[in-house]
Amino acid sequence: MDMTLTAKIKIYPTAEQAEVLKATLSAYRQACNAVSVVIFDTKVLAQAKLHDMTYRLLRSNYALRSQMAQSVIKTAIARYRSLKSNGHEWTLVRFKKPEYDLVWNRDYSIVQGLFSVNTLEGRIKVPFEPKGMEQYFDGSWTFGTAKLVYKHNKFFLHIPMTKTIPTVDEHNIRQVVGVDVGVNFLAAAYDSQGKTTFFNGRKIKHMRAKYKRMRKTLQQKGTASARRKLKTIGQRENRWMTDVNHAVTKALVRQYGERTLFVLEDLTGIREKTERVRIHDRYET
**How far is 68 from 121, CA to CA, in rounded Å?**
12
Burial class (CB in 10 A: 0-12, 13-18, 19+), 266: exposed
Q: How confident is residue 227, by pLDDT bands cut at 50, 70 and 90?
A: confident
| E strand segments, 99-235 | 99-102, 108-111, 114-119, 122-126, 142-143, 146-151, 154-164, 175-181, 185-191, 196-200
Q: How confident is residue 267, by pLDDT bands cut at 50, 70 and 90?
A: very low
The confidence score (pLDDT) of residue 169 equals: 64
Residue 203, SS3 per DSSP: helix
**How far is 107 from 128, CA to CA, in rounded Å?**
17
**How far is 215 from 227, CA to CA, in rounded Å?**
9
**How far is 72 from 267, CA to CA, in rounded Å?**
38
1-54 per-position pLDDT tens digit = 788 888 889 999 999 999 999 999 999 999 999 999 999 999 999 999 999 999
The confidence score (pLDDT) of residue 271 equals: 43
Q: How far is CA 117 from CA 14, 92, 124, 156, 207, in A?
A: 13, 30, 5, 12, 40
Least confident segment among 20-34, 57-71, 125-139, 264-278: 264-278
DSSP characters for 70-130?
HHHHHHHHHHHHHHHHTT---------S-EEEE-BTTTEEEETTEEEEEETTEEEEE-B--
CA geometry: angle at 180 spanning 177 and 184, to 5°?
A: 135
**How far is 29 from 52, CA to CA, in rounded Å?**
20
